[in-house]
């Protein structure tokens, strides 16, 4: 195994599927030419069967083996509940 598993933190944007949540992970990167900071959003499909993560919750996800066609992440903890 080559190192640690990737861990990301994001906000749940959909919990409509059975045992799956969609997590939006935002990252700030410098533009290659103009060096201005731009925000990139990535949608991750995560297995949330153990935890009851709802829309708006801030969650931590960990990389895992492929669980389905799109699911490659697992919710490890709910950092902050939606208000």
**pTM for this entry:** 0.88
Domains and CATH numbers, the chain: 7-80 (2.40.50.140)
Contacts 24+ apart (CB under 8 A), 64-73: 64/5, 68/20, 70/45, 71/20, 71/45, 71/46, 71/47, 72/44, 72/45, 73/8, 73/23, 73/44, 73/45, 73/46, 73/47
pLDDT single digits (tens) 14-54: 999 999 999 999 999 999 999 999 999 999 999 998 888 99
pLDDT for 49 equals 85
Cα angle 57, 48, 80 (rounded to 5 degrees) comes to 20
pLDDT for 1 equals 56
pLDDT for 69 equals 97
pLDDT for 67 equals 96
């Amino acid at each position: 195994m080559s190192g640690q598993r990737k861990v990301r933190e994001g906000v749940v944007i959909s919990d409509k599927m059975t045992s799956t949540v969609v997590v939006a992970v935002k990252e700030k990167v410098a533009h290659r030419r103009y060096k201005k900071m731009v925000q990139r959003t990535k949608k991750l499909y995560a297995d949330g069967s153990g935890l009851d993560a709802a829309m708006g919750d801030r969650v931590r996800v960990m990389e895992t083996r492929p669980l389905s066609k799109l699911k490659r992440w697992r919710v490890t903890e709910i950092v902050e509940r939606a208000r």
